[in-house]
Each structure stands twice: as structure tokens, then as C-alpha cells.
Amino acid sequence: MPVSDVLAFSDVAFRYPDEPSPVLEDVSLKLHVGDKWLVKGPSGCGKSTLFYLLNGLYPDACDGELTGTRILFGKPYEQYRPGEISQVIATVFQDPDSQFCMPTVEEELAFTLENQSVPRGQMEEQITRTLEETGLTAFRHRVIQTLSGGEKQRVATACALIMKPKIVLLDEPLAHLDPMTAREYVQWFSALQQRHEWTVLVIDHQAELWRDFFDHVIELGEHVPISETKRTTPSSSKPVGSGLFKARVNVPGILNTAELQLESGTITVLAGPNGAGKSTLLKAVAGLIPSAEREVYTQSIGYVPQSPEFLFMTSSVRQEVALGGGIRTETYIDKLLLGAVAASNPFAVSQGQKRRTALAAMLNDARSVLLLDEPTAGQDAYALEELEDALFQVVTDGAALLVVTHDMNFASRIADALLLIRDGDMSGPFVPRSVFSNPALLEKYRLVASEGGSIDVNMAAPVESFY
Amino acid sequence: MLANWKLKEVVLMSLLAVVFGIIYLVFLHVGNIWSSLIGPIAYEWIFGVWFLVSIVAMAIIRKPGAAVIPEVMAAAIEVLLGNAVGPRLILTGLVQGLGAEAAFAVTRYRRFDLPVLILAGVLASVFSFGYGYLLGGFSALSPWYVLLMLGIRILSGAVIAGYGGGLLVNGLYATGSLRGYAIARQKRDARV
Amino acid sequence: MSTWLHRLNPSIKMLVTFVFIFALAFYFDPWTPLLMFGAVLVVQVLFSRIDWKRWLMLMLPFALGAVGYFWTTYVFGTAEDRLDTALSLSFRVFAFSSLSLLFVLTTSPMTFIMSLMQQLKLSPKLAYSLLVGYQFLPVLKEEFIQIRQVQQLRRPQHNQTTWSRLRSLPTVAIPLLAGAVRKAEKTAFAMEARGFTGSRERTYFHEVTWHRFDFYFAALLTLIFSLCLVVGAFL
């Protein structure tokens, strides 16, 4: 049986109107029925752009410049009516909070049907069928804003599937999910894919979560070798702890009393499933929750939210670092490798640079306890390595770090101690290695053991000595 | 009217309306406390805040309607929130927005520099004052008091909405997040 | 019958409210707006089921404003019968607000926007963008609070005066706006990827209709307003 192409790109190049050079060049690919592609590449290499070219949003949505040919089911893209391609190609995006426009799940599903002018009489039946097929019937009348990240991604997927597409594009669907939720999504999606034989393309930095789902790989862009970021501080050179930070917090109704002790010069990781209270704990310690009961034994606490740009109040990285009146501005700019962007607007630099700017500012303010909320979400391998270096740099200076993450590979590389949290109950500290080798504990906190990453953490303190 | 608008521009107007709606609320609380003490004139000096969304949206999107539509949307969002001013607010938004829009229409949507933004703030003040004059029954007040109110409102429109709006747009432009909108395109063309 | 106001067509309800708000603006005697306020209250009590505590909460700031209106008009007024005019303008605030609440508290945002699109032919691009804005409201509000908090944490002096809060608004606004720009683009692309073109050629899951009851509402308010005028003229 001859296998016909579902979709073919030949010599496609694309340039944004505001950029001097093209973001994609010489892209040629052929997709067949049931193909499962992984799309890889560092941030900014054009993976999302490729998706927008595939689903037909570009070049129109951004006035970009496109060359080459794009053929979908034997017909050039340009010959499709507006909105017609979306009946064939469905897309699920990365951010679970920016892809809905209606209040409830049912209405959101109906929105897809309304867009295709499906007669009202048929909507009921199609909504019911899609919900049954995706196992979401119980969510039919739920308000989308009240759903968890994982549930939102499933609803977004169901909304994409209701038109019975032939091709499904997933743009980092797991980036904001905890590892177990991500695994469950993968299983759920794989089962649907087998039944419908979709052609699938997935962008993901954490390919390991998909196990052996893919049968093809597209690699875009080149990995820039880490030249400026030399591993300056191996973890073994950390100074001996010179101080202990203690805190006790309680947020009525959300977080039960949690006591923590962070030693200067060490990194503590706080892990647990989405919605467990990780961010709440961090905010409570930072003093950002008015209703929290809080006892802390230092005032010099720094806090870096998941979006570090919330902190920015000036128009250059250098001013940002100097804002608090600290005198070691240049030292910290150098140490956190911000020299090249010191004059840039802090909002206009990369996500990793934003986070390092925030860290440098906190250090320059002589804040000795730093709290980081989800610094790893949506970061590629290169950015993670940069972050790791920055964190080691920070603790070498004697700060105590508390990092929220559910990336266990990352945790295994940086953590001196591990705190686990579930349903507002925190426990620990644990020795990281003992947690990774304890499947029951991992299961309980919906974590996934780190894979392959060698655990070279300096076990300075056994668990008992923390208390 | 919206045929040649990109969806992201229309959604942006709506989200700007929400952001400024939130900021309006902060000022509304300030204004309310003052107004029971010193009367309706309490709102005059902060009135420019209510014109910001027109000026910011127009400076970014630069298409006919980009001043009046977000002002009406901001009003509609406040109504959806359950503001007791109610649907009347939509009319208020329309009138204010038309005032700001007039400044850009007069310059044929070719200039978006500070003087034009300030003019937009002034015209929004004048339009909204005319509307307030009718509904608020200002005709019952003495002329010098009415003139004082008008003067303060115009000043507020020029400074907060015109000048402040301009600063806000420049600050936002510097963050690089406006790539892909008319403001970035035109600033780039101006440099070349 | 008791939930009649909730079931009215939102567009018609809005237009009728507009008409009477404008009509009231031409009267400067104290009785017309006062009677209108009372009559609207009666209609609200008879034909709707609302949370009266909420009604009071929403009314309160306007009551304060009405006080300000009263004495401003009394002190700075020019008319012969200053007291009457001052009372009239304050009662007008009450009448406006009660009419507005009649609309606000009996109308669901979703149905309102759907009706604007289906009856008043509002462009779907605008209508759905408005819905997106409405969905993002709690998200952006939360971000606004968070940004204000974390920036406060960075300021050396922790003074929390009203003035310093207002002064810090521009620095809070920039990250909030930058985030809003990104969200707008992402959401717009997500909608387009699901086939939204902004065309009027679309079907509706929620069809909003109008029927004769909507005209009864208009007739009822006209009747009430006329009565208020007549009685107001005699008093």
C-alpha cells in the first residue's frame, strides 16, 4: 500500500518582520499517517515558529516573510480558507492559562464547534462524545479557571480533538506539570493517539517523560557551546555552613505548620505535586501572605518569583542589581555572568538572564536567605546548566538557598537536602539520595526518580543533624 | 471596522482594558473617600487615569478605533465586574474614548508623539466634561466652580493620561514586549 | 414571575436602562428622581431574586458620593431653590445607581456578551476578546497584587501610605502590562488555531433570544417614569 504524504514542507524559510535574519531556514519535511515526531532544539531556535507555520497561523498572524512551499493533503496552504486548516491540524499550547476564552469546559468545547459553524443541534452529541472519549465527562460543567494545570492541558487537548483532526501538534504540553501528572498525560495521550492514528509532533525539553513514544526526531538550531559559562564552582568547594536560618510558618487552611532550617552555603530543594502548597510555603516565609503566621530569625530574605520580571523596577540590568544600594554591583554582575547584558533592559534579556539578574540584585542587597519559586519550568537543558552554575555561585558566597522544583534530575544535581510537601503538609529534610532510592516515598509525593543523572551531591550532613 | 485588525490586537485591547480596569479600581477607592468630603471635584484631579487605556492602546496599535474601543471595553469589563455605575459607564467610556480618538483622527493617525498624546488627554477631558455636565447636572452649579472643575480635569487629562501614558508606553516599548505591533514597526522604520 | 428580570434579554434591558438614565438627566426637582428610585426598588424586589447585602455594598460608595453632591450643589449652586436642586442631584445619583444595579445584578456576563453579539451585532472579534478579558481578570488581579508585594519587598523603606502606593503604580504596571501583551498574543493564537476567524458566519451553542416579555419591561418602566413625572409635578 503506498504511503501518501499527509504534509510536506520543502525549503521553507521564515523571517519575522522585526528581525534581520530568518529564524528558520531550509526546512524540509514529510509527514505520514501515524508518524510521531519529537521536535528538539534550544530555546529561541524556532520550534514554536515551525508549529505556527504548520498550523497555518503564520505568516498572516505576524506579517512575517515566508519562502518555500507548504503542502497539506496535496493542496498548498495558501489555497485553504481561513480557519479551514484548523479542522485538520489541532494545536495544544504550552501555557495552560493562556489558551481558553470561555468560562466552562462545555462552552470551551462548543467554541471550537461554533468556529466551524457546526449546526447547534449536532453540538450536544459531539461534545458528549469527545468528553467520553477523553475521560473528561465529569469535568463538563466545571469552570476552567478552577482546574489544575494537568486538567487544563487535557481540556485543551479535548478542545483540539473535537474537530477530529488528522494532525496534532503539542507545544511543550508538560512544561508546567509535575512529573507524575506529566507521565499520566503522556499515557492518556498515547492511548488516544493509537486509537485515532494521528500524525503527531511534540516540542518538549523533557523527552524522557515520553519514553519510547516517538519514532522520528527533528533537531532545529545548533546547541551553542557553553563557552562563557565555565563550571567555576564545583560543589565540593562550598564553604562549611556558617549560619543557620530558621523559620516557622503556618497558613490557615492551606499550609500546616512547617518548620525549616536552611544552612548557609547549602541548597535545599522543596518538591511535591502541583497544588501541594510549595509556592505558598515560599511566599509565607518571604512574608508575602498577610494571613500567615510567621516566625523568622532574619530580615534579609530574598524572593525570586516564578516570573522574575515581577521584581524589575528599572530600565537596565545594572540599575536593577544596584537598586537596593548594595556596593558590590559589578562583582555580582561578573559572578552571575551578566556583563554582556548589563546595559540591556532587564525585561528584554533571556529568561535565565532575568533570573540571574534577580539573584544578583538579592545578593547585592546582602540578603543571606534566597527563595526561588520554580526556576526550572520550561527551561531547556542549556538554560538549566546555566542556572545550576548560578546557584552554585550563590551558595559559594554563603547564602542559604531554598529552591522549589519538580524536576528531579535537576534536584539530584543541586540538592544538599530535600523537603517534601503534599496537601499542605511538609516533611523532611531528607537526604536526597535516600529519597530517589525510595519508590514508595516518590510515589507518595508524585515524583519521578531522576534518571541517569549521577548524584554527586556532597552529603555534608546526615538527616539527624538538621534537627 | 475591525476587518483589518489582527485578533491579537483586539485581544490585547481587551487585556489592556482589564489591566487599567484594575488600576481604575484603586483610584476609584481613593476618589470615593474624597468625594464625600469635598464633593464631585474630588475625582477631577485623578480623572486622567480613566483616559490612560485609550492613549496606551492607540500608541501601541495605531489603527482607527484603538482609542475609543478599549475605553468602551474597559467600561464593559467594569460593568461585568458588577460596578454599580452600571451600563451607564459604557456610555461614559464611549464619550471619553471618542475625545481621545478625535486627537488622533485630526492628525490622520500619522503622529503618536508626546504632543498628540497630550492633546488626546485634553480632548478626552473636554468630551467627558461635556457629558458630565449633562448627566451630573453641573448647570446648577456656579460658573466659576464649573470652570475650576474643567480646568483641573484638563490638567489631569494632559498630565496623567497624555504625559503619563506616553511614559508608560515608552517604558513598555523598552521591555521589548511590543515587537510585532505597529509601534515597533514604525519606530524601526523611523530609524532606518 | 419572580425571576422575570433575570430572564430578560440583556441588550434590551441595557438599552431601556440607558433611555431612562438619559431622561432623568433633564429633571431638577427632588421628587422625580426620588420616586423613580423608589419605583425601581419595588420592581427589583418584586421581579428578581438578588443578594441584597451585595446590593447595599455596591450602593454604599454612591450614597457617599450623593452626600458630596448634595453639599457641593448647596454651597456652589446658583439656582433660586438651591436646596431643591441639591436634593434632586443627590437623589439622581440614587436613581441612576438603582437602575444600574437592576441591570448588573440580574444579568450574567456570558449571556450579556452573547446577546451583544447576537442582537446588537457586535463583532465576534470584539465580543470574544471581551470574554477573554473577563476570564483573565482574576489572573491579572492576582498578578497585580503579587507584583506590588514583591516590589515592596525590594524597597528599602517599607512605607505604605496611600501616596506611595499611587506613586509606585507605574513600576507595578510595566511588568503587568508586559505580561498582558504576551498573554494576549498566546490566547489569540490559541483561538485562531481552533478555527476562530472573527467572521460573523458562525453558529451559537448559547442562543440568546428576545420575546414579548422584553417589551412589557420597556412598557412598565415607561409607565413608572410617566407616573413619577406627573406626581413629581404636583408635589
| Pair A186, A218: CB distance under 8 Å | no
A16 CB neighbours in chain B (<8 A) are 179-180
**Which of A173, A188, A219 is the last residue before a domain boundary?**
A219
Would residue B1 count as lying in a domain?
A: no
**Which of A219, A249, A269 is the last residue before a domain boundary?**
A219
DSSP conformation class of B163: I
Query: For residue C54, what pLDDT is reported?
Result: 87
Domain that holds residue B142: 7-191
Could C199 and A112 be called an inter-chain contact, meaning their C-beta atoms sit closer than 8 Å?
Answer: no
Cell of B41: 471635584
* Residue B57 in contact with partner chain C when CB distance is under 8 A: no
Test the C interface: residue of A152, A280, A313 with most C CBs within 10 Å? A313
The verdict on A294 and A427 lying in the same domain is yes
How far apart, in whole angstroms, are the C-alpha atoms of residue B75 and residue B96?
Answer: 11
A61 CB neighbours in chain B (<8 A) are 6-8
Domain that holds residue A45: 5-219
| Pair B27, B46: CB distance under 8 Å | yes
User: What are the angstrom distances between the C-alpha of A343 and each of A323, A326, A348, A359, C179?
Assistant: 14, 18, 11, 17, 22
Cell of A457: 551531591
Q: How confident is the model at residue A70 (pLDDT cuts 50, 70, 90)?
A: very high
Test the C interface: residue of A310, A367, A371 with most C CBs within 10 Å? A310
Domains in chain A, number: 2
A141 Cβ contact list (under 8 Å, min separation 6): A104, A105, A106
| Pair A292, A299: CB distance under 8 Å | no
- CB-nearest to A325 from C153, C156, C174 is C156
Would residue B172 count as lying in a domain?
A: yes
pLDDT in tens, A327-364: 889 989 988 889 889 999 999 988 889 999 999 999 89
Q: Please tell me the number of Cα atoms within 13 Å of C223 on its side-chain side.
A: 7
Nearest chain B Cα distance for residue C151, angstroms: 16
Query: b vs e for C142-173, b when ≥16 Cβ sit within 10 Å of the residue's Cβ?
Result: ebbebbbbbbbbbeeeeeeeeeeeeebbebbb
HEC secondary structure over chain A: CCCCEEEEEEEEEEECCCCCCCCEEEEEEEEECCCEEEEECCCCCCHHHHHHHHCCCCCHHHCCEEEEEEEECCEEHHHCCCCCHHHCEEEECCCCCCCCCCCEHHHHHHHHHHHCCCCHHHHHHHHHHHHHHCCCHHHCCCEHHHCCHHHHHHHHHHHHHCCCCCEEEEECCCCCCCHHHHHHHHHHHHHHHHHHCCEEEEECCCHHHHCCCCCEEEECCCCCCCCCCCCCCCHHHCCCCCCEEEEEEEECCCEEEEEEEEECCCEEEEECCCCCCHHHHHHHHHCCCCCCEEEECCCCEEEECCCHHHHCCCCCHHHHHHCCCCCCHHHHHHHCCCHHHCCCCHHHCCHHHHHHHHHHHHHHCCCCEEEECCCCCCCCHHHHHHHHHHHHHHHHCCCEEEEECCCHHHHHHHCCEEEEEECCEEEEEECHHHHHCCHHHHHHCCCCCCCCCCCCCCCCCCHHHHC
Residue in B closest to A314 by C-alpha: B171
Could C25 and B135 be called an inter-chain contact, meaning their C-beta atoms sit closer than 8 Å?
Answer: yes
B185 CB neighbours in chain A (<8 A) are 17-18
Query: For residue B139, what pLDDT is reported?
Result: 79
- CB-nearest to A86 from C135, C178, C195 is C195
Query: For residue A236, what pLDDT is reported?
Result: 43
**Which of A219, A245, A264 is the last residue before a domain boundary?**
A219
Would residue B2 count as lying in a domain?
A: no
- CB-nearest to A310 from C147, C186, C193 is C147
Could B32 and C178 be called an inter-chain contact, meaning their C-beta atoms sit closer than 8 Å?
Answer: no
Would residue A379 count as lying in a domain?
A: yes
How far apart, in whole angstroms, are the C-alpha atoms of residue B77 and residue B71?
Answer: 10
Q: Output the domain CATH number for residue B128.
A: 1.10.1760
* Residue B21 in contact with partner chain C when CB distance is under 8 A: yes
Test the B interface: residue of A93, A345, A357 with most B CBs within 10 Å? A345
The verdict on A254 and A211 lying in the same domain is no
B15 CB neighbours in chain C (<8 A) are 132-133, 136, 140, 180-181, 183-184
The answer on pLDDT for A229 being more than 60 is no
The answer on pLDDT for A442 being more than 60 is yes
A160 CB neighbours in chain C (<8 A) are 193-194
Q: Please tell me the number of Cα atoms within 13 Å of B17 on its side-chain side.
A: 33
Find, among A402, A434, A460, the residue nearest to A258 by Cα: A402
Q: Give the Cβ contact number of residue C210 at 10 Å.
A: 16
Q: Give the Cβ contact number of residue C29 at 10 Å.
A: 17
Q: In what order do the strands lie in the sheet with A36-40?
A: A89-92, A167-171, A199-203, A36-40, A216-219
Tell me, what's the ipTM? Answer: 0.91
Find, among A401, A424, A29, A426, the residue nearest to A201 by Cα: A29
For residue C38, with 0-12 CB atoms within 10 Å meaning exposed, 13-18 middle and 19 or more buried, which class applies?
middle
Query: For residue A410, what pLDDT is reported?
Result: 87
The answer on pLDDT for A26 being more than 60 is yes
Find, among C220, C222, C231, C223, the residue nearest to C32 by Cα: C231
Could B40 and C77 be called an inter-chain contact, meaning their C-beta atoms sit closer than 8 Å?
Answer: no
Would residue A354 count as lying in a domain?
A: no
Angle at B126 between CA B125 and CA B128, to 5 degrees: 65
The verdict on A287 and A156 lying in the same domain is no
Q: pLDDT tens per residue, chain B (192 residues)?
A: 688 899 999 999 999 999 998 888 777 777 767 766 776 677 788 889 889 999 999 999 999 999 999 999 988 887 777 666 667 788 889 999 999 999 999 999 999 999 999 999 999 999 999 998 887 777 778 888 889 999 999 999 999 999 999 999 999 999 999 988 999 888 888 876
Find, among A428, A434, A440, the residue nearest to A455 by Cα: A434
The answer on pLDDT for A50 being more than 90 is yes
The verdict on A207 and A128 lying in the same domain is yes
How far apart, in whole angstroms, are the C-alpha atoms of residue A40 and residue A207?
Answer: 9
- CB-nearest to C190 from A98, A303, A323 is A98
The answer on pLDDT for A467 being more than 50 is no
Query: For residue A381, what pLDDT is reported?
Result: 81
Query: For residue A451, what pLDDT is reported?
Result: 58
User: How much is the average pLDDT of A296-303?
Assistant: 83
Residue in B closest to C55 by C-alpha: B84
How far apart, in whole angstroms, are the C-alpha atoms of residue C150 and residue C172?
Answer: 10
Residue in B closest to A20 by C-alpha: B188
Would residue A59 count as lying in a domain?
A: yes
Q: Output the domain CATH number for residue A278.
A: 3.40.50.300
Q: 3-state class of B181 per DSSP?
A: coil
DSSP conformation class of B141: B
Cell of B77: 469589563
C41 Cβ contact list (under 8 Å, min separation 6): C98
Chains A, C: CB contacts within 8 A come to: 136
Q: pLDDT tens per residue, chain C (235 residues)?
A: 578 888 899 999 999 988 888 888 888 888 888 999 999 999 988 888 888 898 888 888 778 878 877 887 788 777 677 788 888 888 888 888 888 888 888 988 889 999 999 999 999 999 999 999 999 998 999 999 999 989 988 876 656 676 777 778 889 999 999 999 999 999 999 999 999 998 888 999 999 998 888 999 999 999 998 988 888 888 7
Query: For residue C10, what pLDDT is reported?
Result: 93
- CB-nearest to A118 from C150, C182, C203 is C203
Could C137 and B178 be called an inter-chain contact, meaning their C-beta atoms sit closer than 8 Å?
Answer: no
C5 Cβ contact list (under 8 Å, min separation 6): C13, C43, C44, C47, C48, C102, C106, C217
Would residue B48 count as lying in a domain?
A: yes
Could C139 and A112 be called an inter-chain contact, meaning their C-beta atoms sit closer than 8 Å?
Answer: no
Q: DSSP per residue over C6-30, as a string?
A: HHS-HHHHHHHHHHHHHHHTT--SS
- CB-nearest to B15 from C174, C180, C198 is C180
Find, among A162, A156, A155, A166, the residue nearest to A123 by Cα: A162
User: How much is the average pLDDT of A86-92?
Assistant: 93
| Pair A180, A149: CB distance under 8 Å | no
A215 Cβ contact list (under 8 Å, min separation 6): A35, A36, A37
DSSP conformation class of C77: B
Residue A168's beta-bridge partner residues?
A: A90, A200
How far apart, in whole angstroms, are the C-alpha atoms of residue C227 and residue C233?
Answer: 10
Query: For residue B161, what pLDDT is reported?
Result: 95
Query: For residue B14, what pLDDT is reported?
Result: 95
Residue with cell 503587568: C176
Q: 3-state class of C190 per DSSP?
A: helix
The verdict on A239 and A215 lying in the same domain is no
Stated length of chain B: 192
How far apart, in whole angstroms, are the C-alpha atoms of residue A173 and residue A324?
Answer: 38
The answer on pLDDT for A196 being more than 50 is yes
* Residue C41 in contact with partner chain B when CB distance is under 8 A: no
Cell of A240: 562549611
Would residue A341 count as lying in a domain?
A: no
DSSP conformation class of C151: H
Query: For residue A462, what pLDDT is reported?
Result: 36
B1 CB neighbours in chain C (<8 A) are 123
A313 CB neighbours in chain C (<8 A) are 151, 154, 171
Could A83 and C143 be called an inter-chain contact, meaning their C-beta atoms sit closer than 8 Å?
Answer: no
User: What are the angstrom distances between the C-alpha of A408 and each of A223, A415, A440, C20?
Assistant: 23, 10, 15, 64
Could B176 and A347 be called an inter-chain contact, meaning their C-beta atoms sit closer than 8 Å?
Answer: yes
Domains in chain B, number: 1
pLDDT in tens, A362-411: 989 888 899 999 898 878 888 888 889 889 988 888 889 999 988 888 88
- CB-nearest to B84 from C28, C62, C78 is C62
Nearest chain A Cα distance for residue C156, angstroms: 7
Find, among B95, B75, B92, B94, the residue nearest to B83 by Cα: B75
The verdict on A164 and A26 lying in the same domain is yes
Amino acid at B129: F
End-to-end CA distance of chain C: 33
For residue A100, with 0-12 CB atoms within 10 Å meaning exposed, 13-18 middle and 19 or more buried, which class applies?
buried
Nearest chain C Cα distance for residue A50, angstroms: 14
